[in-house]
Amino acid sequence: MSFVTAHVLDAVAGAPARDLTVVLETADGTHLATASTNADGRVPDLGPQTLESGDYRITFRTGEYFAGRNQPTFYPLVTVTFTVQAEEGHYHVPLLLSPFAFSTYRGS
Residue pair 65/80 in contact by the 8 Å Cβ criterion: no
CB 27 within 8 A of CB 57: yes
Confidence of residue 10 (pLDDT cuts 50, 70, 90): very high
Residue 1: pLDDT band (50, 70, 90) is low
pTM over 0.75: yes
Q: Using the Cα atoms of residue 92, residue 95, residue 17 and residue 48 in order, give the sign of their dihedral.
A: negative
CA pair distance 102, 82, nearest whole angstrom: 16
Domains of the chain, first to last: 4-104 (2.60.40.180)
Please report the pLDDT score of residue 4 as a whole number: 95
Compute CA 76 distance to the chain's CA centroid, rounded to the nearest angstrom: 13
Show Cβ contacts of residue 13 under 8 Å, excluding neighbours closer than 6 positions.
none
The pLDDT value given to residue 89: 80
pLDDT tens across 45-84, in order?
Answer: 998 888 999 999 999 999 999 999 999 999 999 999 999 9
